[in-house]
Amino acid sequence: TAIQNGAQRAIDELNAADSALEGVKTSLARAQVLATQFGNDTYTANDRASAAEEIDGLFKQVLGDLNTRFGDRYLFGGFKDNRPPFDGLGNYWGDTGVRQVEVASGVYDDASVRADIMAKGVDGGVDILTALRDLSAALRANDGDAIRASIGTLDKGLNQVSAARSRVGTAVNIFTSTVNACSLQIIDKKKVISELGDADTLESSSKLSLAQYALNATLTSAAKILEFSLVKLLK
């Protein structure tokens, strides 16, 4: 069905997004380790400059993950998903749009991540790309105070990415339930048709319509329950 196909596509995209976010989290965690290590003033300017090179590499890795493409769509660009959302300096060219996919008749759930929140830190968060660039600059400047200050900033960035992954995981569960329910719907339809067999055509059609209506009502109710659970989880 269209709902099942849409939900499966959402699962595939969200799983790809989660893999990308895992990469971002790994890079940020490594940057935090380096900030903690080289925040110690026993390290020389040359030591810190070498560490800055690794931070630059992590910056590029994060950019690559944030520009992840699945099929013909860039996953973190919002509705502007036909081009890489982040440029080489870390500027965001996507928008705040969130794709929604139908999970039951008239019921929709989010199927993408807002990168302006997760990566750029709008609404009081931190810009994880700026944090990496600032750490690199602090290491090159041999500025111990700035290096140490970056530890907390990176920690906030890690929390943002973790929160995004949590939302992705919940959404995957919802869409998986939808796919499973639709599969049962198809099986039940075939079962009804088989059981009706040679019964009166009009009566058979009526029973099939009633079965379809009942199953759709069940799917809608289940989706609303899942949506309510998601809202409670995110509070």
**pLDDT, tens only, 127-170:** 999 999 999 999 999 999 999 999 999 999 999 999 999 999 99
- Exposed / middle / buried, residue 13 (Cβ in 10 Å: 0-12, 13-18, 19+): buried
Domain that holds residue 94: 2-172
Residue 140 lies in a domain: yes
For residues 192-199, give the mean pLDDT. 48
Contact residues for 62 (Cβ-Cβ < 8 A; gap 6+):
23, 24, 27, 28, 128, 129, 132
For residues 84-113, give the mean pLDDT. 95
**Alpha helices in 70-143, H assignment, sequence order:** 115-118, 128-140
CATH of the domain at 132: 1.20.1330.10
The model's pTM is 0.80
Q: Is residue 189's pLDDT more than 80? A: no
Q: Is residue 40's pLDDT more than 90? A: yes
Domain count, the chain: 1
Q: Is residue 27's pLDDT more than 50? A: yes
Residue 228 lies in a domain: no
Residue 177 lies in a domain: no
- Lowest-confidence region among 42-56, 153-167, 214-228: 214-228
Contact residues for 24 (Cβ-Cβ < 8 A; gap 6+):
62, 65, 66, 119, 128, 161
For the record, the structure tokens of 97 come out as 């749009």
Average pLDDT value over all residues in the chain: 86
For the record, the structure tokens of 54 come out as 């690794």
CA distances from 65 to 26, 28, 36 (A): 11, 12, 24
Residue 217 lies in a domain: no
Kind plus residue range of the DSSP H or E element containing 81: none
Residue 147 lies in a domain: yes
Residue 182 confidence (pLDDT): 86
- Strand, coil or helix: what is 60? helix
Residue 194 confidence (pLDDT): 52
